Amino acid sequence: MRAAVVRSFTEPLVVEDRPVPTPAGHQVLVRMEASGLCHTDIHAARGDWPVKPSPPFVPGHEGIGIVEAAGGQVTHLAVGDRVAIPWLGEACGHCDHCVSGWETLCLAQENSGYSVDGSHAEYALAHGTYVVPVPDGIDPLDAAPLTCAGVTTYKAVKLSGARPGTRALVSGIGGLGHLALQYARIFGAETIAVDVTDAKLALARELGADHVIDARVQDVAEETHRLGGADAAISLAVSNESFGAAYGALRRGGTLVLVALPAEGKLELPVFDTVLNGTKVVGSIVGTREDLAEVFQLHRLGRTRVVRESRDLADINSAIDEVLKGKVSGRLVFDLGSTPA
């Protein structure tokens, strides 16, 4: 099988031939149909974060495919089922986080495409209990971006408190942001989209943003306060300055949800203003299996639109370049042999 492999943090990925793995115990073998390229894969390939993966490894955690074989302990999935392989590859299932609906905080978790091999390959192994069934009627190429960009921003919007009568700012209209904007609208908020390229600002307008701010030439905080300030701001841009700008855009009682993870990401907060304004700052990491099931249902009902372009896995290095240059509309997805739903 073909697999895209990170061999070192300083070299391009290599698409190499590997044997198809055999599932054991709780594992399933998934024949991949589609795998989305998340900005996290780029951080992983470059070793950007304090906790690093160990090369060689296969990145990818927006994997959609068909169960082709299963280990002896998998009883609830059948060969032929379509499943999603998300970032949360496995958790312990019994700690206080796992049993209280916060499995994404489990200290014993494995992460697909990071601590275990992921989905940028023709086949992948995954833990049967942590893959999420993809409902019929969803195109695998749409399901892929929903598996991280979708679930992550759906959760972040939930945590932001966006609802009718509130104003929500989405900073960064990329793979994550183009879906965040749609969820903020579904939750009933007035929306403000912020980005730094004409194409992404145009996409935000097309997706129904009530206001757009071009952070290259406009002051994000000032423009947002002109509108009354943001009750919620969701930081999805891979840029330290954008965190400060989103914080500055909040009105009293507002919530800043941190999602983007730039290398050496830092946010300095004025204590006085944060206290007097009653500001909440929350970190948000992906979403649970239940969140992803909800994301799939919303899409099946036609409430969300996945903006995406397909690429061949062989072009993974140029695809990474396109994302870094901000040239992609929505999400790039590797088409590994999908059949439309």
Interface residues with ligand NAD (CB under 6 A) are 38-40, 43, 148, 152, 171-177, 194-197, 200, 215, 236-239, 241-242, 259-262, 284-286, 323, 326
Q: Which is nearer to Zn ion, 213 or 320 (CB)?
A: 320
Question: Closest residue (Cβ) to ligand NAD?
Answer: 174
Q: Which is nearer to Zn ion, 65 or 254 (CB)?
A: 65
* Binding piece for Zn ion, criterion CB under 5 A, among 24-32, 99-107, 194-202, 252-260: 99-107
Q: How far is the CB of 151 from Zn ion (least distance, A)?
A: 9
What does 285 interact with, of Zn ion, ligand NAD, none (CB < 5 to 8 A by kind)? ligand NAD
Among 67, 98, 134, 238, indicate the residue that binds Zn ion (CB under 5 A): 98
Q: Which is nearer to ligand NAD, 270 or 283 (CB)?
A: 283
Measured from the Cβ of residue 330, the count of other Cβ atoms closer than 10 Å reads: 23
Q: How far is the CB of 110 from ligand NAD (least distance, A)?
A: 15
- What separation in angstroms does the CA of 289 have from each of 79, 85, 187? 20, 10, 20
Alpha helices in the chain, H assignment, sequence order: 39-46, 96-99, 140-145, 151-160, 177-186, 198-206, 220-226, 240-248, 271-277, 289-300, 316-324
| CA neighbor of 115 nearest in space, from 93, 88, 92 | 88
What does 326 interact with, of ligand NAD, Zn ion, none (CB < 5 to 8 A by kind)? ligand NAD
What does 98 interact with, of Zn ion, ligand NAD, none (CB < 5 to 8 A by kind)? Zn ion
Contacts made by residues 237-240, CB under 8 angstroms, sequence distance 24+: 237/171, 237/172, 237/174, 237/177, 237/194, 237/195, 237/196, 238/39, 238/172, 238/262, 239/172, 240/265, 240/266, 240/267
